[in-house]
Structure 1
Amino acid sequence: MNTAARWRLGLVVGLIVLLEIASRAAWIDPISFIPPSRMVVSAVQLLLSGQYTTDILQTLGSALLAVALAVVVGFVGGVLLFRLPRVRRVLDPLLLSYYAVPVFVLYPILIVVLGLNRWPLVGIGFLFAVVAMAVNTLNGLERVPRVLLRTARVCRLNTFDEIRLITLPSSLPFVFTGIKLTVVYAFIAVVAGEFVLSGSGFGYQIAFAYNNFDNPTMYGLMVLMLAFVSSLNALLRTAEARLYRRIRREVA
């Protein structure tokens, strides 16, 4: 763990300890906020009870499906935009203003097209995440040094070797950034959609607990959601580091 990571970890731990002290000393309204330690205990109890297993699996399944679709479509879209500069010039204003559009207004249309099931929420997650993947893929491809591409042509590398040895290693940081943003955006969209547009799932159960003043359940579910998303991001970082090491070995 490097120095920056230790500082980040220390900052997070310090904030949690501060919240624990503030809540137990009643500096924060104890009716609306419970100590972080009680949140963790409640999260463990909810997970072991199995009461919300169906809702958890539904949300995770919908979000991960939206992530998979957004990563594949966004990556292909970014490559196409890179290969077709005229199309990119046409779409650039739309891409820049994309997140100014409230995607949730499309939910009724998605219900009509996809039916009254979980697929409209998957569609919302996909629409919210796909552009982040496409833009980061495009940025990565644009930052491949041209001198390396010319060197590949001089060395008469075939397309596969050029991608494996030059394009992929140079653009990989941006592609993985796109994947990590896709995970965050898809989960935000799916859970937010369940808050107001669904009768089940993580978001619905959190909103239901909030409306019934059930703070232990509400904060426990929130801790579980943070734990799942953080674990997924940690797995992505681990995979990214291993892939970097593998590519460096192949290039060397």
Structure 2
Amino acid sequence: MKTVDEQKTVNAERTTGQSVTVPLNRGWWEKHGRTVVVWGGRLVLSVVLLVAWQLCAGRVFDLTFTSRPLDVARRLGDWQRDGLLWSNTWVTLKEVLLGFALGASTGAVTGFVLASLPTFYRVVDPFIVALYSLPKVALAPLFIVWFGIGLQMKVLLAAVTVFFLVFLNTAVGVREVDRGLIDAVRLMGGRRRDVVLKVVLPASMTGLLTGLKVAVPYSLIGAVIGELVASNRGLGYLISDAAANFDTAGVFATLVVLSVIATVLNLFVSLIDRRANRWKPLEGRK
């Protein structure tokens, strides 16, 4: 048995000889029900985990190592009233945003240009992979020698971490462009500029956006590593200071703030992804 909407589509196809998309008259739940279920499930899971943590702390786990959700909430409240939370969060957020912008922009441009030059890309590829394989925490002491312990060092460390992720994903996106599309544009008289702007650039957006999504948490990692190694401000400094004083609640409170920052940045990148992929068929969107 076909539904009413399916029957309308079939009748339209028989009349015109073409496939016609008929708007569906769906209710609010049919449109948003799945989203409500997903977010409801996330909320329930979060509550269950927090309650289990609260009940088990002090009974199953040692409070010295795990603290409790209520203690973490109290620590956040204390830091908020003292102004300690916002001042240090702003320092880290500034480092993350500047590092992410610098690393993402340079990585995207470099990846697009080098991947468009196949022979040159094959020459430099081993060197890029070797640099990417270096642990970023090992670069922190070198960056301190070069740039000091100020804001610049943390921004550049975050930018280097982001650069390689965006570069590699953008390069993959460019190198995997459908050759048939390129040949079709050339057969229609398109010049190299047309191929780049109308085929390669749109097709490589998937790789670029994947790189941006992956790079968001790594920009945080780069900035926090710099703060852990040498800093007297920022969320990394709060983690280091809390750990030195065996303040487990303080460590977890800082991790909560870092998680919120990463979530907000990921949502922002997801919005860009949706706008950039509006040209794709529905089944091709994530």
Q: TM-score, normalised by structure 2?
A: 0.75
Query: Which aligned pairs between 1:95-174 and structure 2 lie closer than 5 A?
Result: 95-157=128-190, 162-174=195-207
Q: CA deviation at 1:62?
A: 1.0
Please state whether the residue corresponding to 1:52 is helix, strand or coil: helix
Checking the alignment, whether the CA contact within 8 Å between 1:42 and 1:217 is kept in structure 2 is yes
Q: Which has the higher contact order (CA 8 A, sep 6+)?
A: 1
Q: Identity over the aligned pairs, expressed in percent?
A: 27
| Residues 165 and 87 of structure 1, relative CA distance in 2, 3 Å threshold | closer
Letter in 2 for 1:131: F
Q: CA deviation at 1:186?
A: 1.5
Partner of 2:19: none
**Could you list the runs of 5+ residues in structure 1 that have no partner in the other structure?**
none
Query: Which aligned pairs between 1:6-21 and structure 2 lie closer than 5 A?
Result: 10=41, 13-14=44-45, 17-21=48-52
Q: Mean alpha-carbon deviation: is it higher for 88-97 or for 8-17?
A: 8-17
Q: CA deviation at 1:58?
A: 1.1
Aligned length: 248
Name the Cα RMSD after superposition.
2.9
Checking the alignment, whether the CA contact within 8 Å between 1:43 and 1:223 is kept in structure 2 is no
Partner Cα distance (1:81, 1:181) in 2: 21
Query: Which aligned pairs between 1:179-198 and structure 2 lie closer than 5 A?
Result: 179-198=212-231
Superposed CA offset, 1:141-196 (max 9, x none): 11111111111222334566544542233221211011122222121011122112
Query: Which aligned pairs between 1:1-252 and structure 2 lie closer than 5 A?
Result: 10=41, 13-14=44-45, 17-25=48-56, 26-36=59-69, 38-40=71-73, 42-43=75-76, 46-47=79-80, 49-157=82-190, 162-245=195-278, 247-248=279-280
Letter in 1 for 2:216: V
Letter in 1 for 2:158: G
Q: Which has the larger Rg?
A: 2
Checking the alignment, whether the CA contact within 8 Å between 1:136 and 1:174 is kept in structure 2 is yes
**Could you list the runs of 5+ residues in structure 2 that have no partner in the other structure?**
1-31, 282-286
Checking the alignment, whether the CA contact within 8 Å between 1:41 and 1:220 is kept in structure 2 is no
Q: CA deviation at 1:6?
A: 6.0
Letter in 1 for 2:200: T
